[in-house]
Structure 1
Amino acid sequence: MSHLTGLLILTQPARHIITDLPKVLKEASQYVSKTLYVHLDPLACTPPITQVNQRLTLYSRIINSIYCSSPSLCRGIDVRVLLAGFKSLSEIPLKTSSRIDAVLFDHAWKGSELANLEARYRSFIISKDRQVFLLDENYPTEGEGTELHDNTNNAKANKIYPNVVIGGTFDCIHIGHKKLLSEALLRCQNKFTIGVSEGPLLKNKTLKELIRPCEERIKNVRELVMDIDPSVEYSIVPITDPLGPTRWDPNIDMIVVSEETIKGIDLINNVRREGGIKTLDGYVISLVKDDMRIHQEEEEKISASSQRMRMLGTVLNAPIPNANVPNTPHIIGLTGGSASGKSSVAKRLEKLGAVVIDCDKLGHEAYQKNTNCYIKLIETFGADIIGNDGEINRKILGGKVFGNKDALETLNGIVWPEIQRLANVKIEAERKTGTMVVVLDAAVLLAAGWQSMCHQVWVCILKRAEAVKRIMERDGKTEAEAERRVDSQLSGRAMVEAANVVFCTQWSTEYTQQQVERVWATLTKYIHDMGGKE
């Protein structure tokens, strides 16, 4: 029987927990589907570990083992190690943000020990049928337990500090974040300061357009830390300076960083010395290898960048039924900035079975001689826009609207409705032939408001530097010209906010193909479930 949320209570001697952890976590995952809280029971601390440095070292080992094992053993489950039991705040958890549906004990107990356990956790145990023993009482624990090794690099950090600080982006919270937070909280007694990157600090982040707003990330971090350790005071603040509060706050005692940001400790302390502020002790944690890595383009360590990459080609925002558009064909509005790879994605979708309507080609049709659009353009902008062949000279017309916002809006007000009319004619023709998916390939989809004629909006984004490079190579533009073109477009962030699905062609063609195939499989199932035919 699967429950949404479980409380896993570790009762075996602390030095033996790591040995049985893979078996315990795997078994626990069979009973929980959403959130698994992990708690160290007082039984596990008997006999007590009296030396502070050994206690911290052992507890760090246990916590890190839980987090590092959980992605593969507890797939899709949010694992949270509660620091009650690891710290002196209380023997049992004070509360959890999610209601506990089942209490899981790592070991089968009987008699007075079981009675004591049930009494200790009576506020969590709803009924006997929601109480589970994962390992038999005779289950063997191999070896003599976890050995402790001195870590001379982190010797100063094997103690408790009044005030501790960390920093990070904290997007797509993953086990690396949980490890960082837990290691810092384990050593924090009073105040815990967390700097959350914002503004210029996000400039070079992979897929920065997919990073959640700062206030949302702060909210998520606060909810997590209040869950795992409600015993300290929290100051969670946005930072636009890499040093954040460490630049000026004299009350901070220790900073926790990862291996890749270890140089930041010296930088911070140099600035503090210059400002006459006491320097910080530093505690360095190792990176976590990503055993769930699905493509070589992703980072080898667990990172938010890889998590965002895995969002590509998935439904980020569920489609809202459009009552103004018939169910068939299912119309996808595909858009993206210049050189974003939009046309490449359209061709891939076409090979999978979609019919693509290229709005750029429809734009050329709209300008053709003697059409209503042709006549309106001449009436509005003058007969001098007609070339020697009788067709509209788009270069001359472009010169009339370049740098003139009002004139450009007038032009678009004439041409865009005609393109939309032509697109609707083609869509209606596809409807009559039974086509199931139509992709409306349109760079100006959102600016023109054509999303109103679509069931979904799919967007291609690309790093600015890469877009500029591609425009220079493809169109022979100077760097300045390419930058102006990119900057004149709707921002990637604005496009993502309007999107149901996002693609990025930044990496290999294989990786792009995987994104397209992933969403195509989702789309065909969605259409089938909505009553269409694949």
Structure 2
Amino acid sequence: MILTQPVRKIVPSLPKVLKAASQHVTKTLYIHLDPLAKSRLPEMKQCLALYSHIITNIYSSSPSQCQGLDVRILMAGFKGYSEVPCKTHFRVDLVMFDQARSGHELVDLEKRYNFFLTDSRSQVFLFDQTCQNDEEVQIPQDPTNEKANQIYSSVVIGGTFDCIHGGHKILLSEALLRCRDRLTCGVADGPLLKNKTLAELIEPCDKRISNVRELAVDIDPTVSYNIVQITDPMGPTRWDPNMDMIVVSEETKRGIISINEARREAGLKLLDGYVIGLVNDQLREYEEEEMKVSASSQRMRLLGTVLKPIIPNPNIASHPHIIGLTGGSASGKSSVAKRFAKLGAGVVDCDILGHKAYKKDTNCYIKLIETFGSDIVDIDGEINRKVLGTKVFAEREALQTLNNIVWPEIGLLAKKCINDLAAEGFRVIILDAAVLLDAEWEEFCHQVWVCIIKRQEAIQRIVERDGKSQEEAERRIDSQMSNADRVARANVVFCTQWSGDYTQQQVEKAWATLNNYIDNAANGYKAQL
């Protein structure tokens, strides 16, 4: 989309223009500032402030006006190094103008964008009488950034850059707007992610670095990029002498002081700072999510969705559809299973089956006595699991031996329960199993779903629910598979650390997606017949 209105008139008309543009786009909407828009520009400092205002408003309003689109503001027009953007990362299929033009202006525009129009289906003039707005925006007063409203040779930014959103794009664009030669970007990793919400869902650092680079080069290919992993808050600002200015968000502006103190001690040039405001999240529906646009909220919205493609399991029948549901102690796994039961799923509780496996005269019972001795048998003839526990839990090899005896027996019982529930007519069966992945029971499931919760929350729940000490709870958590390892093998992830309503919406989201998947698979099978 080409912005041709005078820059002072762009912001008031943005909602309608973006909404109109979104009707013609399904994936990526590039936005470019045409030379026609640059009439009566103010002096440089005010011009940068005005451009910042336009960029911030585009990215702030695009989630609601262009929902689902990847909106990218090209820096060529704002920085004035080219009348026409360079080749974009994604092919341009359609060129749109924000205002109808005629005569010489239209001829000039067609000549200017002929490169993009070659493969385009058509031109679309978005602006009409109902959208026109003669209001002119006043240049915003910004005393915080007044001194930093200039062009610098080298600029630096930092962040997690997970689930790249409008806030990230504003940060990157504001830095590029003021950057002439080199942009350094620190991408947080390691200990910097420890306290992040749903850290297990954060993409690998190399993937996030790749995403930032692709976006940055796409919107401004004229700058040299130094995009690096950082594991401490200061990153290269602590030692790199070739930096002039740092761009930060409102919530991290105190970092400028800390960074400059470290640079002063190292004898390095102090950095000018530019602070961008927080952007309200227009898509926020639940109070558990943050008010501002954030990657945390973006990750929360991934809960209950398919994160890993579902690969058909050729070793089991397609009906019923079996979901292996697992999670660590106090993760809320069983409560989630009960929520699915209320929606119509059959549930196999492997905790109950575990108790059945130990019962007198079963194959498992006999093998346990042969392996661990008759002293594990209680007066009533049943296995005394407390006595058995003292024999195995202090010794890893003995515990593995126990598991090798018990897990196959539980697996057989689970398969029988699945068959019984299938005979009753259930088309979805939830296999609720804490050791699902350890025991490799996912082999007879179509999908793996995982419940996770913050370590500290899990420990607190164990202490309160089971009467364990803090140390005992920590040992229990540490003896289990990590959340990160579970998530790596999961198709769908849930988290129960917020309200019951928030858990329920995750469950209902997953249930709706699952039923659509099953219906589509069934229709595809019928079509093949």
The TM-score normalised by the length of structure 2 is: 0.97
**1:116-515 pair list within 5 angstroms:** 116-126=108-118, 129-136=121-128, 140-143=132-135, 145-515=136-506
**Matching residue of 1:5:** none
Alpha-carbon separation, structure 2, partners of 1:286 and 1:136: 33
Alpha-carbon separation, structure 2, partners of 1:516 and 1:127: 44
The one-letter code sitting in structure 2 at the alignment partner of 1:180 is L
Alpha-carbon separation, structure 1, partners of 2:219 and 2:416: 58
Give deviations 1:181-202, integer Å, cap 9, x for gaps: 0001100111100000000000
Partner SS state of residue 80, structure 2: coil
The one-letter code sitting in structure 2 at the alignment partner of 1:16 is K
Give deviations 1:386-432, integer Å, cap 9, x for gaps: 11111111111111111211111111111000000001111111222
Offset, 1:156: 1.6
CA contact (8 A) 2:310 2:491 kept: yes
CA contact (8 A) 2:93 2:121 kept: no
Alpha-carbon separation, structure 2, partners of 1:297 and 1:129: 44
CA contact (8 A) 1:108 1:137 kept: no
Say if 2:79 is the partner of 1:111: no
Higher mean C-alpha deviation, range 168-177 or range 134-143: 134-143
**Matching residue of 2:28:** 35
- Aligned partner of 1:59 among 40, 48, 51: 51
Alpha-carbon separation, structure 2, partners of 1:525 and 1:282: 50
- Aligned partner of 1:12 among 5, 17, 29: 5
Identical residues among aligned pairs (%) = 64
Structure 1: gaps spanning 5 or more residues: 1-7
CA contact (8 A) 2:241 2:269 kept: yes
Is the alpha carbon distance of 1:495 and 1:261 closer, same or farther for their aligned partners in structure 2, counting shifts above 3 Å?
Answer: same
**Matching residue of 1:75:** 67
Offset, 1:137: 7.6
**Matching residue of 2:511:** 520
Higher mean C-alpha deviation, range 378-387 or range 298-307: 378-387
Offset, 1:128: 6.9
CA contact (8 A) 2:100 2:127 kept: yes
Structure 2: gaps spanning 5 or more residues: none
CA contact (8 A) 2:304 2:506 kept: yes
How many residues were matched structurally?
Answer: 524
Say if 2:520 is the partner of 1:529: yes
Partner SS state of residue 69, structure 1: helix
Alpha-carbon separation, structure 1, partners of 2:364 and 2:131: 81
**Matching residue of 1:85:** 77
Runs of 4+ aligned residues of structure 1 deviating over 4 Å after TM superposition are: none
CA contact (8 A) 1:107 1:137 kept: no
CA contact (8 A) 1:109 1:137 kept: no
Alpha-carbon separation, structure 1, partners of 2:394 and 2:116: 67
Alpha-carbon separation, structure 2, partners of 1:152 and 1:369: 79
Give deviations 1:286-335, integer Å, cap 9, x for gaps: 00001110100100000000000011111112311111111111101000
The TM-score normalised by the length of structure 1 is: 0.96
Offset, 1:19: 1.9
Give deviations 1:367-398, integer Å, cap 9, x for gaps: 00111111011111111111111111111111
Across the aligned residues of Structure 1 and Structure 2, the Cα RMSD in angstroms comes to 1.4
Alpha-carbon separation, structure 1, partners of 2:132 and 2:211: 39
**Matching residue of 2:18:** 25
Is the alpha carbon distance of 1:29 and 1:139 closer, same or farther for their aligned partners in structure 2, counting shifts above 3 Å?
Answer: closer
**Matching residue of 1:4:** none
Say if 2:73 is the partner of 1:95: no
CA contact (8 A) 2:327 2:333 kept: yes
Offset, 1:16: 1.1
The one-letter code sitting in structure 1 at the alignment partner of 2:394 is G
Alpha-carbon separation, structure 2, partners of 1:361 and 1:126: 67
Higher mean C-alpha deviation, range 73-82 or range 381-390: 381-390
Partner SS state of residue 166, structure 1: strand
Alpha-carbon separation, structure 2, partners of 1:247 and 1:67: 31
Alpha-carbon separation, structure 2, partners of 1:128 and 1:525: 35
Partner SS state of residue 267, structure 1: helix
Offset, 1:136: 3.1
